[in-house]
Structures are given as C-alpha cells and as structure tokens.
Amino acid sequence: MSDAHTFSRRHILGLADLSVDDIELILQTAESFKEISQRSIKKVPTLRGKTVINLFFEPSTRTRLSFEIAAKRLSADTFSISSVDSSAVKGETLVDTARNLAAMNPDCIIIRHSRSGVPGLLARHVKASVINAGDGAHEHPSQALLDLMTVREHKGRIQGLKVAIIGDITHSRVAHSNIIGFSKMGAEVRVAGPATLMPPGVAAMGAMVCSSVRAAVADADVVMALRVQQERQFDPLLPSLREYAIFYGITPELMALARPDAIIMHPGPVNRGVELTPALADGSRSVILDQVTNGVAVRMALLYLVAG
C-alpha cells in the first residue's frame, strides 16, 4: 500500500471499483477491528451518532446479521427493513423508497437486492453512503473482502497463491467479486464448473477457465466451492443436484490433488453433500466459520471507512 493511502470512496458497490490500495486499507482496518469482537465488552464509540439502515430485499443470514452486529459494535444506530415489511409490497418504486430513506438523513444504507445494479441506482439518488450487500448475479463485495482476509490470515499472503473456484460461475456474485479481488491482489484464479454455467467473459475478469475440477484443484492453495442456487434447480442449464455432486462436488479424493496445506472455503449457506462432503465442511481444512467471523470485522471496516 502506498504511504498514507486515504480512502476516498463514498460507496462500496463492487470490487471492480476498488484499487489494490483500497483493498489493502480495508483488510488492514478489518484486521485491527477483529480484536474488538474478542473483548468481553464488544463495543467502541467510533460511529456514535451515525445512522445505518439495512435494506434487504432478499433472504440473508450471514450478511444481514454481520452488518448489523458490525454497526452496533461501532455504536451506530441501526435499523433494518426487508422486502416483506417495506412499502415495496404496496407498489412503491425503488427510487421512491430511496428518496424516502434519504429524507430521514441516514449516513449509510446497506442494500441486498435480487437485481444487478440496484445498489448503483440507489447511490445516484441518496446522499448517504451505499454498501452493496449482494446484487443479483453482479457483485458481493463484502463477501470477497472477508474471503481475502481469511486467506491472508491462514496463508500469510495472497500474492502468488493458486485459488480454485468451483461451481456456477455465471450466476454467482460471490465468484465475480472473488475473481476480481483475488486477481487484483496477485493470486492465480482458476475456475471450473458446468460448461453451461461458465460465462464467456470470465477470462477478461482475470480467471483461468479449467476444463475439469481436477485441473482447477491440482496444486491449489485455496479451494472455494460455490453455493448451488437451489432456487435454480429446475433450470435446464444446471445438472440435477445428484449429478452436480458427482461431477463438481469437492471430495477428499479431489482435495488430495491440492497442496497438502490447502484450505476449503464456502460463502454459505452450504448444501451438504452437494457442493462438498460434510466431512470436508466440518474438517480441519475448512475455514468456513472463520469466513463468518471475519465478515463482522470486514463490515466494521467498511462502515468505518465510508461513514466514520
């Protein structure tokens, strides 16, 4: 990171918008915040008097709760609203919702939406900082940042590592943000999955497309299984879950091809026995719960950097 890099982004919409210095500053800030969550009194006054709104138009366990916990640990006032209890169900447009939220003068709005580009649209209509908590098949920046933090914690570096991402690359916002993020930070990113779910532009994002899962995993330092989006299970582009597990599921036999100290990651929620075997999900190489722990620290860093 260049000396005294200052964070000048008002919004966090995607890894594509962040420089290497921005990512480095976010990771360093998250690493320094992590300790707060290990104290008996898990609260600092950093964002006292700031207002954070969580606007979730799609289900979420990890992202929603960890943004809420992050804001509370920094002493911000937090408010949450979901699609079922917002006036969107009465036909209010997103831009009208945004203008009404802006009228209450929040400092930060965190949004998850099933449509790609909605956080960007919101950012054009409000004064508050907007953080993308996952938009359609576009990006999930805080997930990729917590993944980068977790890899660096376990491997001591990101530069030069071989990272294999396995699954539905087309529809995975986690994959898109991670391909961009790990490539920017100097890792070799390999992707593998059903050919019908491999987007044509993936090489331009910085990933090497492998012809098989075995080729992607061979000698890898990090193996990341993506969630099979069960809501798409009747999509003709996706093999049946059984077929998926046979051809693309991560097994101990596949992991034997990776480096002996390779770690296993998954953004959650895990479909046990589909994306990876339960023994691997719970085994000593799995860092899945470390990802969740680091999610709080990364989200504290993001809130601090955009609203602090």
Contact call for residue 60 and ligand CP (CB under 6 A): yes
For residue 81, report the phi and psi dihedrals to the nearest 5 degrees.
-140, 140
Question: Which helix (H) or strand (E) is 132 found in, with range?
Answer: strand 129-135
CA distance 199 to 171: 9
Among 62, 72, 115, 125, binds ligand CP (CB under 6 A): 62
Q: Which is nearer to ligand CP, 70 or 210 (CB)?
A: 70
Cβ within 8 Å of residue 19, ≥6 positions away: none
Is 129:74 a contact under the CB 8 Å cutoff?
Answer: no
Smallest distance, Å, CB 117 to ligand CP? 18
Among 245, 267, 286, 301, binds ligand CP (CB under 6 A): 267
Among 29, 143, 150, 294, binds ligand CP (CB under 6 A): 143
Smallest distance, Å, CB 298 to ligand CP? 12
Smallest distance, Å, CB 66 to ligand CP? 8
Among 1, 21, 43, 61, binds ligand CP (CB under 6 A): 61
Smallest distance, Å, CB 64 to ligand CP? 6
CA distance 281 to 270: 8
Smallest distance, Å, CB 302 to ligand CP? 14
Q: Which is nearer to ligand CP, 210 or 223 (CB)?
A: 223
C-alpha torsion 145→146→150→155, nearest 10:
0
Is 255:234 a contact under the CB 8 Å cutoff?
Answer: no
CA distance 222 to 165: 8
Is 154:180 a contact under the CB 8 Å cutoff?
Answer: no
Among 51, 54, 63, 97, binds ligand CP (CB under 6 A): 63
Contact call for residue 10 and ligand CP (CB under 6 A): no
Q: Which is nearer to ligand CP, 134 or 167 (CB)?
A: 134
Among 14, 106, 119, 134, binds ligand CP (CB under 6 A): 134
CA distances from 247 to 69, 208, 290 (A): 38, 19, 27
- Which range of residues in 58-66, 71-79, 88-96, 181-189 is near ligand CP by CB under 6 A? 58-66
- Which range of residues in 30-38, 61-69, 83-91, 182-190 is near ligand CP by CB under 6 A? 61-69
Is 158:23 a contact under the CB 8 Å cutoff?
Answer: no
Smallest distance, Å, CB 175 to ligand CP? 12
CA distance 156 to 150: 10
Among 117, 194, 268, 308, binds ligand CP (CB under 6 A): 268
Q: Which is nearer to ligand CP, 131 or 210 (CB)?
A: 131
Residue 192 CB neighbours (<10 A): 23
Binding residues (CB under 6 A) for ligand CP: these are 60-63, 134, 143, 267-269
